[in-house]
Amino acid sequence: MKMERNITVNEAGHLVLGGVDATVLAEKYGTPLYVMEEDKIRGAMRAYRSSIEKFYGGNGRICFASKAFCCKEMYRIADEEGLGADVVSGGEMFTALSVGFPMEKVCFHGNNKSDKEIRMALENHVGRIVVDNMEELDRISHFADELNVIANVQLRVKPGIDAHTHNFIMTGQIDSKFGFALETGEAMAAVKKAIETPSVRLCGVDCHIGSQIHEVTPFVKAGEVMMDFIASIKEETGYEIDELDLGGGYGIRYTSEDDPVPYAEYMEAVSAAIHAKAEKHGVKVPFILMEPGRSIVGEAGTTLYTVGAVKHIPNVRTYVSVDGGMGDNPRYILYQSKYDFLLANRADAPADTTVTVAGKCCESGDLLGENVPLPETKAGDIMAVLSTGAYNYSMASCYNRNPIPPVVMVKDGADRVIVKGQTYEDVCRNDV
């Protein structure tokens, strides 16, 4: 039996994930528990890859933005599926290196890379360093000279499109800590400097306009602005830019209110705009890079909790407390993010009550959702929070010294641990 948004429920009325009964997972591994469905991850990767084939004749690459869900197994899967990866820190780079991920397919981002991280990237021949600012360009060329290597770089550009809000805006000078501004001439100055620096090879330009975007237009506009920039680089300097990195940001479904655009639709519209601009300006269509994170792993993840205290406050609200919270999912306390909830042990029961789902941390703000429709809920129920695959485990902390839960991968009725849960020994391992 299937419910809206492809939720599978078995005859016992239990939620099924990757062919495995979620209540069995909760029993076997304990709660809280992160569950990831491998078919959904690989399916999203394949959909993106086939869009590159279809709309760019294969002249491009998908790089998984690993900050969305970073662990060794994700780099293995990305590699098996032919993807590259984005890293934003020495720690993510180290994780990729530790499983032998092909470093030439890695883009290293960040607005404040340390000397140590830059050296690490150069020493390990990371494919592209995405340069954020002039001072960083100097440091990259300094370390490239010192190590006697050529640094292959892209420049992070602010295309003047801010799509962080639901309605995107195109402004002149945008207020962002990331990248070079176009309209002040800063981006062009950086291009010229990169071209003139012998230890640096300017491969491409990069933009990333926001996250959880549900509209096609901002991506199309960003593609157009970047193609105009590539054309003006050629006009002013004669230099041809080989690569255009369009970033990530494609929206996913968190709740039934979200209506994500199918990725092929974004890809088709952006590709049409890029081809049109290339023709208009007489420049070649660059090698296209894309960096989806959330849209590859977000909907593949479900978090399971056990319900504990249920507190009815007459005429106020009912708090249903679970055994996790802001430690394993800080997105509510950070952004009041919305999720869909259900009871994994009674997944087919009608949601006829409205509750506030609270975490167990000593913070009043530690909630997972307000005005949540659920069946009558009692201690011992297994609660499932859907679409937690992105920016949950990767943002987790052991605040209150609650150990970070394990991550279990499910596929075809089988389950396996891909990240072990922390133990109490782990949470005080570095204490002296």
Write out the catalytic residue numbers: 362
Residues 311 and 320: their CA atoms lie apart, in Å, by 6
> In this structure, are residues 33 and 323 in contact, taking their beta carbons and an 8 Å threshold?
no
CB contact at 8 A, 67 and 88 = yes
Nearer to ligand PLP by C-beta: 2 or 177? 177
Least distance in Å: CB of 285 to ligand PLP? 21
Among 248, 286, 369, 389, binds ligand PLP (CB under 6 A): 248
**Max Cα–Cα distance, the chain, nearest Å:** 72
- CA angle 86-260-73, nearest 5°? 35
CA 250 to chain centre: 9
Whether the Cβ atoms of residue 62 and residue 52 lie closer than 8 Å to each other: yes
Toward ligand PLP, which CB reaches closer, 177 or 429?
Answer: 177
Smallest distance from ligand PLP to CB 211, Å: 3
**Which residue in the set 105, 208, 331, 346 belongs to the binding site for ligand PLP (CB under 6 A)?**
208
Q: Please, which residue, 142 or 338, has the CB nearer to ligand PLP?
A: 338
* Integer CA distances (angstroms), 375 to 1, 343, 350, 353, 357, in order: 19, 8, 6, 6, 13
Select from 65-73, 261-269, 346-354, 411-419 the region that touches ligand PLP (CB under 6 A).
Answer: 65-73
Comparison of 61 and 67: residue with beta carbon closer to ligand PLP: 67
Position among 22, 36, 65, 408 found at the interface with ligand PLP (CB under 6 A) = 65
Distance CA 397, CA 404 (A): 7
Bridge partners, residue 385, by sequence: 303, 341
Smallest distance, ligand PLP to C-beta of residue 428, A: 32
- The contacts of residue 135 (CB under 8 Å, 6+ apart) are none
Of 114, 393, 109, nearest to 248 (Cα)?
109
Among 14, 40, 61, 67, binds ligand PLP (CB under 6 A): 67
N-term to C-term CA, the chain? 53
226 binds ligand PLP (CB under 6 A): no
Please identify, using beta-carbon distances, which residue of 225 and 358 lies nearer to ligand PLP: 225
Piece in contact with ligand PLP (CB under 6 A), picked from 48-56, 140-148, 242-250, 354-362: 242-250
The helix-helix angle for 38-56 and 263-281 (nearest 10°) equals 30
User: Is residue 211 involved in binding ligand PLP (CB under 6 A)?
Assistant: yes
Contact map string, positions 94 to 123, toward ligand PLP, x by CB under 6 A: ---------------x--------------
Map the footprint of ligand PLP across residues 283-342, applying CB under 6 A.
Answer: 291-295
How many residues belong to the site for ligand PLP (CB under 6 A)?
Answer: 16
Q: Which of 7, 62, 68, 386 binds ligand PLP (CB under 6 A)?
A: 68
Binding site for ligand PLP (CB under 6 A): 65, 67-68, 86, 109, 208, 211, 247-250, 291-295
